[in-house]
Structure 1
Amino acid sequence: MFKINQGRSLIIYPAILVVIIALAGIVCYYPIINSFFLSDDLVLIAIFQQVGPWGLWVNQQHGQSLFFRPVLSLISFLDYQIWGNYPLGYHLTNLGFHLSNALAVGWIASLLVRNFPIGRHYKIVLPYISGFVFLLLPSHTEAVSWISARTDVISSFFGFVAFIAYLIGRNSRYKYPYILSLLLFFMAVLSKESIVTFPGLIILFEIYHYFTHKQDGKLWKKRLGLIIPYLAVLAVYFIWRVIKIGTLVGGYGEDIHLRFDFGHIAQNLIIYPTRTFLPPIFNSSFSLWLSIFWLIVLLSLACTSLLFKSRTPDPSIPPLLLFLAGSFFVAVLPAINVFVSITDTQGERYLYFGSGFASIYLAVVLACLCMNIRLILVVSSILLLIFGLTVQSLNQNWRVAGSISQNILLGMLQDHPNLPAIITAIPDNYRGAYIYRTGLIQGLYLFGGGEKYAIAFNREPGDGPFERVQFTTNNIQTVMHHNLRELDDTILIRQDTPEIYQFNLSNPETSFLPWPKNSLKTLDYEVIKFAPTQYQLLLKNPDLADHLIFYSDGRLTASPY
């Protein structure tokens, strides 16, 4: 009877915890489940409508794109085939992958601690704490809540499961887990190129395993040789990539990915681990995040110190922490030259894959500092509650951004602005949640404004293997973008002369953003003075005064002049 009950508990308790994890994720991300499309989302769907399943693979979006992501393109196209112009299904896909990733992180933690000389309760609790931490990390809202950031969620799924298959296969007499790992790794890099450092994770693990298990050197070299097929897969990927897109670097270009500014990299080495665990802090400075970084270091040292002072020290835990910390930095290495904001959610998607290993790291540190299973559960529950409330709060920003995006689109479709429309200010983002950095023309095209605004779809040969794919119109000109902090942020207009208009942001914590894609000088107008919170517009044709529109005080507004 005891064995039957024990067997049932091995099934029932994990199943209950999995259900709780799923419910926690749904509750925290519920605000964005049916949130409207934002920015690149609309570009993505419009490309699929016109080009088909490989639209994001070999075609240039808005002039130029060098991303080679066929698996991502296929998954997103299947979403489009099912859901069309309804955002609900796309958000469900993102959330489904995120929930799966949380379970995968817990599984990785289970495989890492299964041979530890620690109590059975710790071995059970640590994986679930790791999965819960990953699920509720405040740094995940951009990757999960923004449809277009699914690149990181989907590629990480394949990366995590590939690592699980490797950990299982390295000790198995069967080859299929190892072959599965190679296949999943290939699918991961075909979803996002940043997973190219995956072989580095395997090298780190084998080094960690060698020093903690004191295995024979010949066996270690043999296992280290397992990395060669992964490098072969990587070589196939790069060859295929060069053939298809004509370049090895791609992405945002060599100016970003090969810009080795060591000051910027040093800052990222401090910002990345701190932002992984903490939400953005508005108006915070780098010095604050440096202090938080040293606090994390001190907690890690305290954890190690307690381990050596305990009666039953486990010498394998400090190397495990080193492995997890090293894995985090290996995972984020491809994004070390980019930007992750400390004041809002922009760019935090680059931390997603690495945060899986950071979540396990945090769970291990909590277990070592608390030294008691009940205390671990209490402390972790408090921490997870804080994380969950923070995620809910941040998701309100994404929900509001979706509402603004939809209202602007409806305003352009229904309020019939005079054509050509000159948009003097349109929201780029709301507290870091993107709105119309791009995608307005594609949104109008998708939702019935193609004829009204005479939007044309152009598809012509481009450089190398590319086609140039663009949606264009002469009836919409965008002068300036701006960010929003509050829904009632207002733009004040003053007419200095019959031809010159002064635009001022009412909120000093916001700014105008003159993106390079915007035309600051055309036959109809010219920006003659610019400052972060104000600019002057010279309207060369005074008859176009009634054509000026902008977003202010929560709505799309026509100029009163």
Structure 2
Amino acid sequence: MKSINWQWLGLAIAAVILQLLYLPTRLAGFVTDFTGLAERIETHGAAGIPGSFGFPALQPVSSVFYYFFYHSYSLEGWGWHLSMTLLHTINAALLFFLVRRLLGSGTERSAQLPAAAGALLFLFSPYATEVIVWRVGFHYLLVTTLLLGMLWHISRWLETPKATIFWTILGLQIAALLTYELAVIAPILGLILILWQHRRGELKEALYRLTIPQFSLVGLYFVGNRALLGSWIGHYGSEVHLQFPLGDMIANVGRYFVKMAAFSRYWPHPWKESVAVWLRQPFGLILLTLLSLGLLAWMFRSFRHVDRRAQLTWAFGLATFIALVPVLNLYFNYLLHIENDRYGYLPALFFYPAWVALLSRLPRGLYYFLTGVYLFISIGLLQRTNLYWAQSTRVYRTLLDDFPAYDRDSCYLLNLPDNLQGAPMFRDFSGKDRAFADALQYVKRQPYSGVLEEVVQYNMVFPTDGVLVEPDSNDLKVTFRQWGNWWWRRGIGASSYRDSSFIFHNEGHHYRLEWRDRPRAAAILYQDGSNWHSWTQQE
């Protein structure tokens, strides 16, 4: 009788627990950018895969998966859910085996436990939900898988430099680059691993044979972007990715590390705001800079003189920073849950093993206790975050299912939930105010043929949030029934604006809708919780 493989059994148990935690989100995530993806896939078809369905980025590899998922999986089924949770589980398993390999086959404390604890913290991170639940986050999962595979094979190649392993490394890097632009950091991650794992006297050869080809592939990638897209970097474009606001980037380093190490996203708002703002002040910036430079100098001086766990802390800590570099100049959202958590998915892959290896320097009993408490808190916050997704989805689907104005030629929506506690709902970055209309077309599959005017959105705090509507002379006054909300439009806070038929006056807790062309035959609807109510125009 064969002995039990405890590692695989542990991974299986962890995978089952993950499924239970994410089960409430099975129908979630078909929101916002998903409708844009659906439109592009239906417009371009399979012929659009090489050009990423017209999206301004070189992502043909992830486009293959999106095309397959879109045409194979129902929006009411298990396909999307299982594919994305499974790939996240695979990433955690690959992380475990990579860390265990790098630490060697030492004692439980020196190798097995740091590898397992780091992988579990990554697996059950409450910050992974945006990537796993939002159905347009699959490329974050896939590029992480490919980069992990690349690092695993680099580790093998450094021990046994076979040609087949070398070409596998480059193949995985190419696939990663054509999945998502975050893969431009691949050569630097490989360089960190080479500097750590190389044998004495073999560094120059490893750099020449592998690092130069890896950097060359990134150079070709940039040239391809320029030739095919007209910009050195796709997605947000060079005007965003090549802007380097130094103060914000330094502050964001601290914000990300506090977020991952101390779960600051879930602190009371005054606490997290005060920390986020302080880190952008001159004293905070100077302290962060000096601390970072000091740690870097210490690392290079002491790296070869410490044990493998300390080396893991340094190497994966540096890899965390490298993985953050491409997103440090992007907006760091500390206000809401979930939003922009996707930017931290790849950095978290390296952060958690480094964090656990650092904690392992403590006395064994304290180390086990703190690691267990940390994992317990992480699972609790993950469950809470998935509850937000589930609540937002119930409201989202009910509003779509119960839309009552199909028999009218035009309709005004006085309010729409942009998000619930950060879980995205009806948001449109296109500037065309079509979030609800596109959801009717691509999620409900019953498009509205009339003219649909979305006046304004707002952030839901609870799934029962809504508004009161009352006449104000010849206009309408729309007021929140509760406190804690504010008006949104096109993904940010709403300002007063003019439309062809009305003027929107933002007056804080309420807004006033001044009619320019009074729509006497149109349906005027407002949302209250999961319900639609109709406002009857008074003569």
TM-score between the two structures when normalised by the length of structure 1: 0.83
Aligned to 1:479: 455
Aligned to 1:471: none
After the TM superposition, which residues 80-99 of structure 1 pair with which residues of structure 2 at under 5 Å, given as runs?
80-86=70-76, 88-99=78-89
Residues 510-558 of structure 1, C-alpha deviations (whole Å, 9 max, x = no match)? 211132899943332222x224543221112334375222222332332
Aligned to 2:479: 504
Aligned to 2:345: 352
Q: Kindly indicate whether the alpha-carbon contact (under 8 Å) linking 1:280 and 1:341 is maintained by their aligned counterparts in 2.
A: no
**CA displacement at 1:246 relative to structure 2:** 2.4
Distance (Å, rounded) in 1 between the aligned partners of 2:459 and 2:193? 43
After the TM superposition, which residues 55-94 of structure 1 pair with which residues of structure 2 at under 5 Å, given as runs?
55=48, 58=51, 65-86=55-76, 88-94=78-84
Aligned to 1:466: none
Distance (Å, rounded) in 1 between the aligned partners of 2:93 and 2:515? 57
3-state DSSP of counterpart to 1:544: coil
3-state DSSP of counterpart to 1:140: helix
After the TM superposition, which residues 323-342 of structure 1 pair with which residues of structure 2 at under 5 Å, given as runs?
323-342=315-334
In structure 2, the CA distance between the partners of 1:421 and 1:58, relative to structure 1 (3 Å rule), is: farther
One-letter amino acid of the counterpart of residue 25, structure 1: L
Q: 1:449 aligns with which of 446, 450, 453?
A: 446
Aligned to 1:386: 377
In structure 2, the CA distance between the partners of 1:184 and 1:54, relative to structure 1 (3 Å rule), is: farther
**CA displacement at 1:378 relative to structure 2:** 4.4
Distance (Å, rounded) in 2 between the aligned partners of 1:96 and 1:53? 25
**CA displacement at 1:27 relative to structure 2:** 2.0
In structure 2, the CA distance between the partners of 1:539 and 1:516, relative to structure 1 (3 Å rule), is: farther
Aligned to 1:457: none
Q: Kindly indicate whether the alpha-carbon contact (under 8 Å) linking 1:56 and 1:67 is maintained by their aligned counterparts in 2.
A: no
Aligned to 1:492: 468
Q: Kindly indicate whether the alpha-carbon contact (under 8 Å) linking 2:313 and 2:355 is maintained by their aligned counterparts in 1.
A: no
Q: Kindly indicate whether the alpha-carbon contact (under 8 Å) linking 1:36 and 1:406 is maintained by their aligned counterparts in 2.
A: no
Question: What is the number of residues matched between the two proteins?
Answer: 508
Q: Kindly indicate whether the alpha-carbon contact (under 8 Å) linking 2:190 and 2:211 is maintained by their aligned counterparts in 1.
A: yes
Aligned to 1:400: 391
Distance (Å, rounded) in 1 between the aligned partners of 2:48 and 2:509? 38
Q: 2:517 aligns with which of 537, 541, 547?
A: 541
Distance (Å, rounded) in 1 between the aligned partners of 2:196 and 2:481? 55
In structure 2, the CA distance between the partners of 1:551 and 1:59, relative to structure 1 (3 Å rule), is: farther
Residues 58-111 of structure 1, C-alpha deviations (whole Å, 9 max, x = no match)? 3777xxx42321111111111122114435311211111100111111122112
One-letter amino acid of the counterpart of residue 285, structure 1: K
User: Which 10-residue stretch deviates more, 158-167 or 170-179?
Assistant: 170-179
3-state DSSP of counterpart to 2:503: strand
Aligned to 2:25: 32
Q: Kindly indicate whether the alpha-carbon contact (under 8 Å) linking 2:392 and 2:419 is maintained by their aligned counterparts in 1.
A: yes
Distance (Å, rounded) in 2 between the aligned partners of 1:510 and 1:476? 24
Aligned to 2:256: 272
Distance (Å, rounded) in 2 between the aligned partners of 1:475 and 1:389? 44
**CA displacement at 1:120 relative to structure 2:** 4.7
After the TM superposition, which residues 139-218 of structure 1 pair with which residues of structure 2 at under 5 Å, given as runs?
139-209=127-197, 215-216=200-201
Q: 2:111 aligns with which of 123, 147, 165?
A: 123
User: Which 10-residue stretch deviates more, 503-512 or 354-363?
Assistant: 503-512
In structure 2, the CA distance between the partners of 1:246 and 1:256, relative to structure 1 (3 Å rule), is: closer
Identity %: 18
One-letter amino acid of the counterpart of residue 19, structure 2: I
Aligned to 1:465: none
Q: 1:103 aligns with which of 93, 97, 102?
A: 93
**CA displacement at 1:484 relative to structure 2:** 0.6
Distance (Å, rounded) in 1 between the aligned partners of 2:469 and 2:5? 64
User: Which 10-residue stretch deviates more, 318-327 or 248-257?
Assistant: 248-257
3-state DSSP of counterpart to 1:224: helix
One-letter amino acid of the counterpart of residue 540, structure 1: R
Distance (Å, rounded) in 2 between the aligned partners of 1:532 and 1:105? 48
3-state DSSP of counterpart to 2:514: strand
1:410 equivalent in alignment to 2:401 = yes
3-state DSSP of counterpart to 1:504: strand
Distance (Å, rounded) in 1 between the aligned partners of 2:368 and 2:86? 26
One-letter amino acid of the counterpart of residue 349, structure 1: R
Q: Kindly indicate whether the alpha-carbon contact (under 8 Å) linking 1:425 and 1:480 is maintained by their aligned counterparts in 2.
A: yes
Aligned to 2:226: 242
User: Which 10-residue stretch deviates more, 162-171 or 434-443?
Assistant: 434-443
Q: 1:515 aligns with which of 471, 490, 513?
A: 490
3-state DSSP of counterpart to 1:494: strand
Q: 2:501 aligns with which of 524, 528, 533?
A: 524
Aligned to 2:274: 287
In structure 2, the CA distance between the partners of 1:60 and 1:285, relative to structure 1 (3 Å rule), is: same
Q: Kindly indicate whether the alpha-carbon contact (under 8 Å) linking 2:459 and 2:485 is maintained by their aligned counterparts in 1.
A: yes
Q: Kindly indicate whether the alpha-carbon contact (under 8 Å) linking 1:43 and 1:443 is maintained by their aligned counterparts in 2.
A: no
Aligned to 2:213: 229
In structure 2, the CA distance between the partners of 1:60 and 1:496, relative to structure 1 (3 Å rule), is: farther
Q: 2:203 aligns with which of 217, 220, 224?
A: 220
Q: Kindly indicate whether the alpha-carbon contact (under 8 Å) linking 1:32 and 1:145 is maintained by their aligned counterparts in 2.
A: yes
Q: Kindly indicate whether the alpha-carbon contact (under 8 Å) linking 2:27 and 2:393 is maintained by their aligned counterparts in 1.
A: no
In structure 2, the CA distance between the partners of 1:54 and 1:491, relative to structure 1 (3 Å rule), is: farther
In structure 2, the CA distance between the partners of 1:54 and 1:353, relative to structure 1 (3 Å rule), is: farther
Distance (Å, rounded) in 2 between the aligned partners of 1:532 and 1:143? 33
Distance (Å, rounded) in 2 between the aligned partners of 1:237 and 1:29? 36
In structure 2, the CA distance between the partners of 1:269 and 1:532, relative to structure 1 (3 Å rule), is: farther
1:136 equivalent in alignment to 2:136 = no
In structure 2, the CA distance between the partners of 1:137 and 1:291, relative to structure 1 (3 Å rule), is: farther
Distance (Å, rounded) in 2 between the aligned partners of 1:59 and 1:176? 30
Distance (Å, rounded) in 1 between the aligned partners of 2:355 and 2:264? 16
Q: Kindly indicate whether the alpha-carbon contact (under 8 Å) linking 2:412 and 2:522 is maintained by their aligned counterparts in 1.
A: no
Q: 1:20 aligns with which of 5, 13, 30?
A: 13
User: Which 10-residue stretch deviates more, 200-209 or 354-363?
Assistant: 200-209
Higher relative contact order (CA 8 A, sep 6+): 1
In structure 2, the CA distance between the partners of 1:30 and 1:266, relative to structure 1 (3 Å rule), is: same
Distance (Å, rounded) in 1 between the aligned partners of 2:306 and 2:275? 34
Q: Kindly indicate whether the alpha-carbon contact (under 8 Å) linking 2:418 and 2:426 is maintained by their aligned counterparts in 1.
A: yes
**CA displacement at 1:424 relative to structure 2:** 2.1
**CA displacement at 1:444 relative to structure 2:** 1.8
User: Which 10-residue stretch deviates more, 141-150 or 240-249?
Assistant: 240-249
Residues 317-374 of structure 1, C-alpha deviations (whole Å, 9 max, x = no match)? 434322211100101211111123223211010010111110111221232213x3x6
- In structure 2, the gaps of 5 or more residues are 429-434
Q: 1:368 aligns with which of 352, 357, 361?
A: 361
In structure 2, the CA distance between the partners of 1:379 and 1:449, relative to structure 1 (3 Å rule), is: same
TM-score between the two structures when normalised by the length of structure 2: 0.86
Q: Which runs of 4 or more aligned residues in structure 1 lie more than 6 Å from their structure 2 counterparts after TM superposition? A: 290-295, 516-519
**CA displacement at 1:481 relative to structure 2:** 1.5
1:428 equivalent in alignment to 2:398 = no
In structure 2, the CA distance between the partners of 1:431 and 1:229, relative to structure 1 (3 Å rule), is: same
